[in-house]
A and B are shown apart, each in its own frame.
Chain A
Amino acid sequence: SAVISQKPSRDICQRGTSLTIQCQVDSQVTMMFWYRQQPGQSLTLIATANQGSEATYESGFVIDKFPISRPNLTFSTLTVSNMSPEDSSIYLCSVGEYNEQFFGPGTRLTVL
């Protein structure tokens, strides 16, 4: 199984600013995913990031707000842009291996 790390583990940010979250995997993977978990809620898929192509965004999420980079097979970043308090959530990256997904520890974001 893949081991996934995320940075930062948590942050408190001011509204109007941006935060970039990093996701590092210990092995090469084709598919990486970014999720949002709002307080007390389940997970919602933001986008799928495949190396060498543009990220695919789910309904309700746009590239201008959540730009994603996937420069190689072990790394991805998610930026939360022009933040508002409604963006306060846990952001998780995951990787897909055959019939299973493994998750990073998450980044807990609070926007004031």
Chain B
Amino acid sequence: AQSVTQLDSHVSVSEGTPVLLRCNYSSSYSPSLFWYVQHPNKGLQLLLKYTSAATLVKGINGFEAEFKKSETSFHLTKPSAHMSDAAEYFCVVKEGSNYQLIWGAGTKLIIKP
């Protein structure tokens, strides 16, 4: 069965420092993995996705994530945090052609000035 674990419910970083949001998954088949961002009072936006091509995936707003099969991880990183990055981030897994998305609990990213 598929599952997603976001290891931190809250992450707090200073503006200009690196961001690391951790995600581990379990999947019986070749998964597709996604990171979505939800800004306060706004809709969900796809940051990036992994679909069995390159293991290092670049997304919007300077974010990237690396698919590591041996570690069953898909951590989200950004070299330098910006105040506008403050939001809730969700790691999501999908198996094969199955339409159903399995959502992590979310990580709230807090940016300190």
Q: Are B90 and A42 in contact (CB under 8 A)?
A: yes
Report if A99-B32 is in contact (Cβ < 8 Å); known contacts: A42-B90, A43-B90, A105-B42.
yes
Tell me whether A92 and B43 are in contact (CB under 8 A): yes
B43 partner, pick from A41, A96, A100, A105, beta carbons under 8 A: A105
Q: Is the interface of A mostly helix, strand, loop or mixed?
A: strand
Which residues of chain B come closer than 8 Å to A104, judged between CB atoms? 43
Given A42-B90, A43-B90, check contact A103 B105 (CB 8 Å). Answer: no
When chains A and B are docked, how far (Å) is the Cα of A31 from the Cα of B106?
A: 25
CB within 8 Å for A42 and B101 given contacts A99-B32, A105-B43: no
Picked from A96, A99, A105, the residue with its CB within 8 Å of the CB of B51 is: A99
Find out whether the CB atom of B99 lies under 8 angstroms from the CB atom of A42. no
Within 8 A of B (CB), among A29-77: 31, 33, 41-45, 48
- A103 and B44 contacting across the interface, CB-CB below 8 Å: yes
Known interface pairs A42-B90, A43-B90; A103-B43 also in contact (CB < 8 Å): yes
What residues of chain A lie closer than 8 Å to B106, measured between beta carbons?
41-42
* B84 interface contact, C-beta 8 A: no
Q: Contact between B100 and A45 (Cβ–Cβ < 8 Å)?
A: yes
Interface size class of B (residues with CB under 8 A): 10 to 19
Residue of B nearest to A104 (CB): B43
Mark each residue of chain B from 84 to 113: 1 if its CB lies under 8 Å from any CB of chain A, else 0: 000000100010000111011110000000
B32 closest partner in A (C-beta):
A99
Partner of A101, one of B41, B42, B43, B101: B101
- Inter-chain contacts of A45 with B (CB < 8 A): 100-101
Report B29-56 residues with CB < 8 Å from chain A CB.
32, 34, 36, 41-44, 46, 49, 51
Query: Known contacts being A42-B105, A92-B43, A106-B43, is A99 close to B94, with CB within 8 Å?
Result: yes
B contacts, CB < 8 Å to A: 32, 34, 36, 41-44, 46, 49, 51, 90, 94, 99-101, 103-106
Pairs across A and B, CB under 8 Å, 15 listed = A42-B103, A42-B106, A43-B90, A43-B101, A43-B103, A45-B101, A92-B43, A92-B44, A96-B99, A100-B34, A101-B99, A103-B36, A105-B42, A106-B43, A108-B41
